[in-house]
Amino acid sequence: MIENLFAEIAKQNVSEDAWNWLEEKSALLNKDTNATQLNAAFTAVPRKMGKQIIEISAGQAKKIDTLLTGFSIQGWTTDRLARVWLLMNLKGTEKDDYIRKIENLFKAAEMNELVALYSSLPLLAYPEAWQFRCTEGIRSNIGIVLEAIMYENPYPSKYLDEPAWNQMVLKAFFTDKNVERITGLDKRANKRLASILFDYAHERWAAHRSVNPQLWRLVGKFIDENNFSDIQKLFNDGNPSEKKAAALALSESDFMPAKNLLNQTANLKNAIQEKTLSWNSLVKEMKNFSSN
């Protein structure tokens, strides 16, 4: 059970007093007819639990990923974990009541509370009830809120429809997010998104602005006669990272001219086949470059 695992992790990261407080509050949640206990406990969490970054073992991280694929609490703070754990302990037997209580938390939330609330989406009852809420969060311009939805959160890829999903991915590029941390990114690549991303790249080029090479990981399967020239241009005239990104995109395409183009560079093609060049290796390479 994931809530037991969260409890175990929370316990090892805070003092005994703090843990006892949280356990006590969580027990009160479901005895309450209105939301008073929930509101008070949810708000008071950082005062009692602190805000330090949690430590979790590799085994625990792996277990979380097994229980909920694509989910990670790496880098979370103690208040975030405690808030999410509180929400997991709220019983959802009365649907309307449950939804109203959580919606009210959203309405009066400060920044860190929003982060916890959006992080909890994949763990809440009635997952289909939070679709609109999730799209509202994507409209936010608060960086940490966007990241709570985008990074290692399996909710969007599982529950958003295609337009909303595409909107989120595009917003991630627009706001310079680490798109590779979006759960389900490659799996939910689609033709419509690829076409939007090509347009976006054109706009960036027209403005003499750079394009994140990770963008091309979402277009490979959709290369056709209409957009091939863009990939060609990237492959021939791009900087080294862009050239690698173009090669990776080409390697994912069944379009014959794309295959032929890739065949022109044996070294990149081999690197891809030997997996020394991948989208993830490209991310690492670029990070090393920018921190030097």
Partner 1 sequence: MNFMSHDPLKREKEVAESFISVDLQNIKGMQFFDPHVHMTSRTTDDYQSMADAGIVGLIEPAFWLGQPRTGIDTFRDYYSSLIGWERFRASQFGIKHYCTIGLNSREANNEKLAEEVMELLPLFIYKEGVVGVGEIGFDDQTPAEEKYYRLQLELAKEANLPVQIHTPHRDKKRGTQRSMDIAIELGLDPYMVIVDHNNEETVHEVLERGFWAAFTIYPFTKMGNERMVEIVKQYGTERIMVNSAADWGISDPLAVPKTASLMKLRGINDENIRMVTYQNAITAFGQSGQIDKADFTLVKEIDQSKKFAGNTILRGGQQPRIDKSSIIIS
Residues of this chain that interact with partner 1 (CB under 8 A) are 39-40, 43-44, 46-47, 107-114, 141-144, 146-147, 175-178, 208, 212, 286-287, 289-291
CB-based contact 218:197 (threshold 8 Å): yes
CB of 107 to partner 1, least distance (A): 6
Q: How far is the CB of 58 from partner 1 (least distance, A)?
A: 22
- Beta carbon of residue 176, minimum distance to partner 1 (angstroms, whole number): 5
Closest CA to 279 of 179, 155, 166, 184: 179
Entry field: residues in the chain: 292
182 secondary structure, DSSP code? B
53 DSSP assignment: B
Nearer to partner 1, 178 or 232 (CB): 178
Q: Which class for 226: exposed (0-12), middle (13-18), buried (19 or more C-beta within 10 A)?
A: exposed
Closest contact distance (angstroms) between CB of 112 and partner 1 is: 6
- Contact at 8 Å (CB) between 153 and 71? yes
Return the number of the residue (156 or 213) whose C-beta is nearest partner 1: 213
Among 132, 202, 125, smallest CA distance to 167 is for 132
Q: Among residues 280, 256, 255, 278, which one has the least CA distance to residue 268?
A: 278
Let me know the angle formed at the C-alpha of 106 by 103 and 112, rounded to the nearest 5 degrees.
Answer: 150
Least spacing, CB of residue 141 vs partner 1, in Å: 8
Q: Which is nearer to partner 1, 68 or 109 (CB)?
A: 109
Q: Are 81 and 148 in contact (CB under 8 A)?
A: no
Q: Which is nearer to partner 1, 105 or 194 (CB)?
A: 105
Q: How far apart are CA 28 and CA 41, in angstroms?
A: 9
Which CB atom, from 166 or from 212, has the smaller least distance to partner 1?
Answer: 212
Nearer to partner 1, 255 or 279 (CB): 279
Shortest separation between residue 43's beta carbon and partner 1, angstroms: 5
Judged by beta carbon, residue 104 or residue 270, the one nearer partner 1 is 104
State the minimum distance, in angstroms, from the CB of residue 102 to partner 1. 14
CA dihedral 99→105→108→112, nearest 10 degrees, is -140
